[in-house]
Chains A and B, each alone.
Chain A
Amino acid sequence: MATRQQALSTTAPLALNAAGRDQTTRRSRGWRRFRRYRPGLVGLAFIGLLLLVAIFAPLIAPYSPTEVATRLRGDPPSAAYVLGNDAVGRDILSRLIYGTRVALMVGLGATAIAVTIGVTVGATAGYFGGWVDAALSRLVDTLMAFPTLALLITLAAVLGPSLITVIVAIGTTVWASYARVVRADMLSLRERDYVLAARAAGARDGRIIFGHMLPNVLGPIVVLGSLSVGSIIILESALSFLGLGIQPPNPSWGGMLSDGRAYIRQFPHIAVAPGVLITVTVLAFNLIGDGLRDALDPRQRE
């Protein structure tokens, strides 16, 4: 199965006209395969919903996420305040709704940064080989040696915590795995006939890398990317939980958990809902990733 597909994909670009059609059929075949994995569809639907919530937060949220109502301090869930109030009387549901923005911005933003850096580094190392590869590979090794959270905490503390810091710090910290995957694939693609043909035709390195080779590595990158959004959301909430991410009074799920921890004895309900939402969101992204892996990455299929 896998070998047949590879044979197909290497011969297809020869027929110039067929190339475009081949791409669209491959895409729709991917979607058909993805659709077959039910949990992936559920995950996709949930993330779609979450995106809408994030965009229309001001319309959906019943109250202001930052308005303090001292008389409602730590009130448990009620008809008016469905998830209750936090330790200074803010509506927990409204804060969760606004927190969606932070989670998605960090999850998607940091992934975009990581993919860009990782793919560039990996492609460069794998394509050029030799000392370029050796140097970049040691750089990747170095990054991978740091326990991610320790590095992030240090960066956040040193640079001063803020939304931008969190996105950039996470993005520049977690790209190593993309680099490794892309490098390995590029090393093997480098020897393919169509690359030799492109080189013989006088194509520049950049064109060969981006135009001819990278499209063949996209599948695993998309899979890895969708799987890493979830872990990035966990990292962000861990940072905010430790007080080194999004700063109060701005609502973030991790920050809300931090409040929940501070008042765990008096108002234990504060810590429940944000954790459930983080878990479900991460789960949804992981399920999408599993579905994409089934659809796009024939090597990984069980």
Chain B
Amino acid sequence: MLRYVALRLLQGILVIFLVSVATFVIMHLAPGNPVDIMVGEAQVTQEQIDAIMRKWGFDRPLHEQYLTWLSNIVRGDFGQSVIRTGTPVSQMLQEAAPATVQLNILALSLAVMIAIPAGIFAATKRNSPFDFATMIGSTLGVALPNYWVGLMLIILFSLNLGWLPPFGATTWQGYVLPVAVLALGEMAVLARMSRGATMEVLNQDYVTTARAKGLTGRAVLVRHVVRNALLPVVTMLGYRLAFVLSGTIVVETIFAWPGIGRLFIDSVYRLDYQVVQAIVLVLSTLVVVGNLLTDLTYAYIDPRIRIR
């Protein structure tokens, strides 16, 4: 186990390093130099431009810029936003993070609480009306673009009925629509997965044995089926992180949610290199760490994984 943990940790660190290189390279594919974008329409002298160049290190070779950037990041310093008059990027991230974390935790909990029981129940009542409804719902849910669902809910609940505000995170009503939209896509995936996992377990010999020795349907379900079916589903949650974070970008943009996703889109529109870089790096690192923890949890619970 220790060997496995060490190996996976090393791989994780290597991947994070590669992610940082990729991010840095992508941002420097941009045509035009950041100073021009930063200065914009303002009248500036050559001396001012030179000063900016020196201050941000744009005059040094790429690999040196990267090393400076990386060594700062390792110390928790993401540099300063060129466009937004020198606000530290880490400060912007810290201000935006809580809103995103809240939104995602609420949405994921909602999805888990509804979709997993629904999927398990659908599997035990195979081909029942409930099973069909669940499957149709999740098939449709996967196909629905979340930003469109968001728009339709705004039209219905905010503009026509006037029940909920179309955006903002200041009141509890403001949470309802973004949480619902973000939860919807995950629900579709989770319900399908937990239905599949449950059906697989239901076909196992030990379930037949449990039934044969006279356990009631409920006892078999709780003690043998659900516990075994939940394992792959719950660990799968860890691998969904990348998708959830993609969803949060769109949902935050639609509902003007003051989180990382909106900060990201804002910074993309302004070509604010430092911020875009930092956010892509932070999100990807989160995904790597999430996947790593999932792998390790899985290996801890299920020893078969360790032996490769």
A, B in one complex = yes
Chain B residues proximal to chain A, CB less than 8 Å? 11, 14-16, 18-19, 22-23, 26-27, 29-31, 139-140, 142-145, 147-149, 151-152, 154-155, 159, 166, 196, 199, 242-243, 245-247, 249-250, 253-254, 264-265, 268-269, 271, 276, 279-280, 283-285, 287-288, 291
Q: Can you list 9 A-B pairs with a CB-CB distance of less than 8 A?
A: A138-B14, A144-B242, A145-B291, A154-B23, A264-B159, A264-B166, A271-B155, A279-B148, A283-B140
**Which chain A residues in 144-196 approach chain B with CB under 8 Å?**
144-151, 153-155, 157-160
Residues of A within 8 A of B18 (CB): 138-139, 141-142
A271 to B145, Cβ gap below 8 A? no
Partner of A147, one of B246, B254, B269: B246
Residues of B within 8 A of A234 (CB): 145
Complex Cα gap A149–B265 (Å): 11
Residues of B within 8 A of A100 (CB): none
B265 to A242, Cβ gap below 8 A? yes
Residues of A within 8 A of B16 (CB): 145
Produce 1/0 per residue, A252-291, CB < 8 A to B.
0000010011001100100110110011101100110000
Complex Cα gap A147–B262 (Å): 15
Residues of B within 8 A of A286 (CB): 139, 142-143
Residues of A within 8 A of B143 (CB): 230, 279-280, 282-283, 286
Known interface pairs A146-B280, A157-B271, A264-B154. Does A279 touch B140 (Cβ–Cβ under 8 Å)?
A: yes
Residues of B within 8 A of A241 (CB): 147, 250
Residues of A within 8 A of B279 (CB): 150
Partner of B19, one of A145, A272, A275, A282: A145
Produce 1/0 per residue, A98-120, CB < 8 A to B.
00000000000000000000000
A150 to B271, Cβ gap below 8 A? no
Chain A nearest CB: distance from B22 CB in Å? 6
Question: Number of residue pairs across A and B with beta carbons under 8 Å?
Answer: 140
A232 interface hit (Cβ, 8 Å) = no
Partner of B284, one of A146, A153, A243: A146
Number of interface residues of A (CB under 8 A): 45
B151 to A271, Cβ gap below 8 A? yes
**Which chain A residues in 32-75 approach chain B with CB under 8 Å?**
none
Chain A nearest CB: distance from B296 CB in Å? 15
Residues of B within 8 A of A242 (CB): 250, 253, 265
In the complex, residue of chain B having the shortest beta-carbon distance to the beta carbon of A271: B151
Complex Cα gap A141–B7 (Å): 14
A283 to B139, Cβ gap below 8 A? yes
In the complex, residue of chain B having the shortest beta-carbon distance to the beta carbon of A137: B11
Given A147-B284, A151-B26, A279-B140, 14 more A-B residue pairs with CB atoms under 8 Å apart are A138-B14, A138-B18, A145-B15, A145-B19, A145-B284, A146-B22, A147-B242, A154-B27, A238-B250, A242-B250, A261-B151, A275-B152, A279-B145, A283-B140
Complex Cα gap A149–B244 (Å): 10
Residues of B within 8 A of A160 (CB): 31
B30 to A260, Cβ gap below 8 A? no
In the complex, residue of chain B having the shortest beta-carbon distance to the beta carbon of A268: B155
Interface of chain A, helix or strand or loop or mixed? helix
Residues of B within 8 A of A94 (CB): none
Interface of chain B, helix or strand or loop or mixed? helix
Partner of B280, one of A150, A237, A268, A278: A150
A123 interface hit (Cβ, 8 Å) = no
Residues of B within 8 A of A97 (CB): none
Partner of B11, one of A141, A154, A265, A282: A141
List the 10 shortest-distance A-B pairs measured between CB atoms, nearest first.
A275-B148, A149-B246, A283-B143, A282-B143, A147-B245, A142-B18, A145-B284, A147-B246, A158-B30, A157-B268
A244 interface hit (Cβ, 8 Å) = yes
Chain A nearest CB: distance from B244 CB in Å? 8
B27 to A153, Cβ gap below 8 A? no
**Which chain A residues in 228-242 approach chain B with CB under 8 Å?**
230, 234, 237-238, 241-242
Residues of A within 8 A of B196 (CB): 302
Complex Cα gap A158–B269 (Å): 10
In the complex, residue of chain A having the shortest beta-carbon distance to the beta carbon of B30: A158
In the complex, residue of chain A having the shortest beta-carbon distance to the beta carbon of B15: A141
Partner of B268, one of A146, A153, A261, A274: A153
In the complex, residue of chain B having the shortest beta-carbon distance to the beta carbon of A149: B246
B11 to A264, Cβ gap below 8 A? no
Residues of A within 8 A of B140 (CB): 279, 283
Residues of A within 8 A of B245 (CB): 147, 150
B147 to A142, Cβ gap below 8 A? no
In the complex, residue of chain B having the shortest beta-carbon distance to the beta carbon of A300: B196
Complex Cα gap A180–B264 (Å): 29
Chain A nearest CB: distance from B212 CB in Å? 24
Complex Cα gap A225–B145 (Å): 19
B152 to A272, Cβ gap below 8 A? yes
Residues of B within 8 A of A151 (CB): 26, 280
Residues of B within 8 A of A275 (CB): 145, 148-149, 151-152
Complex Cα gap A274–B242 (Å): 26
A146 to B148, Cβ gap below 8 A? no
Partner of A154, one of B31, B276, B287, B288: B276
Partner of B159, one of A138, A142, A268, A302: A268
Residues of A within 8 A of B159 (CB): 264-265, 268
B280 to A271, Cβ gap below 8 A? no
Residues of A within 8 A of B247 (CB): 149
B242 to A260, Cβ gap below 8 A? no
In the complex, residue of chain B having the shortest beta-carbon distance to the beta carbon of A258: B147
